Amino acid sequence: MTIARADFIEGMAKGMAVLESFDTERQRLNATLAAQRAGLTRAAARRHLLTLAHLGYLESDGSYFWLSPKVLRFSGSYLASARLPRALQPTLNRLAAQTLESFSAVVLDGDEVVIVARSAVLGPTPRLLAYGLHLGARLPAHATSTGRVLLAALPKKELNAWLKGRTLLRLTPQTEIDAKAFRALIEQVRRDDYCVASEEHELGVHALAVPLRNMQGRTVAALNVVASPARLERERLQRDLLPLLLDAARELRPLL
């Protein structure tokens, strides 16, 4: 969404930039680190940190700051009120109960995908629970099955803009980081209309994803399942679980 310059509140944007500076790489920041991450002066970053701590969104030991549980109000309100998670959750629960596997639905947000709905069932045999797969988790789009499905859904002009000048980080020895090869991979996903990512985001994890489209044909999210390669080979993943995901995507379409 674009707005008029007069309507843009710069102070709010800077405060949000400071808040978004906290992530899994840096859970604790001082004013200098926050300034570097948010693109602000140290003095401005310090004022924003102190204000956010005063409002209860950060905690501090006097030098370093970290997120407080109050920030979960935003995600909690979204998950409780947004239409997409509520529409998807019953289907994810059914799939998990049917297969005893872990299913997630995600949306694309810049460089990352965000998990907006998730369901897992613990059966008599322990099932794979990949690290960091929880509601609200943010994962690198380039190395995940869901991210690639969502990137493949972008118009080519938008995909070119997303790829331009981008460094694809290697997360495991299997991560594809060559720009030309990655572009070819996305084209293949566009043709197949599904994606399998094998140990590219996390070793020991295979993931299969399909797009979730609305009645207008626009991809609004991606649905995936994760499984251990030791228990479920790539061929079985596609044979046994792909039809279930495709059926679920068709069933969900009128709800999206």
- pLDDT tens sequence across 6-35: 888 988 999 999 998 887 678 899 999 999
Exposed, middle or buried, 152 (CB in 10 Å: 0-12/13-18/19+)?
buried
Q: What is the pTM of this model?
A: 0.78
pLDDT tens digits for range 122-163 = 555 545 455 556 788 889 999 999 999 999 999 999 999 999
Tell me the average pLDDT across 241-254.
95
The residues spanned by each domain of the chain are 5-72, 82-255
133, 115 in Cβ contact below 8 A? yes
Q: The domain 5-72: what is its CATH number?
A: 1.10.10.10
Give the separation between CA 190 and CA 178, rounded to whole angstroms. Answer: 18
Specify the length of the chain in residues: 256
Q: Which residues of 198-227 are buried (b: 16+ CB within 10 A; e: fewer)?
A: bbbbbeebbbbbbbbbeeeeebbbbbbbbb
The sign one gets for the Cα dihedral 127, 130, 135, 141 is negative
- d(CA 166, CA 169) in angstroms, rounded, equals 9
- How many C-beta atoms lie closer than 10 Å to residue 180's C-beta? 7
Topology of 82-255 in CATH?
Answer: Beta-Lactamase (3.30.450)
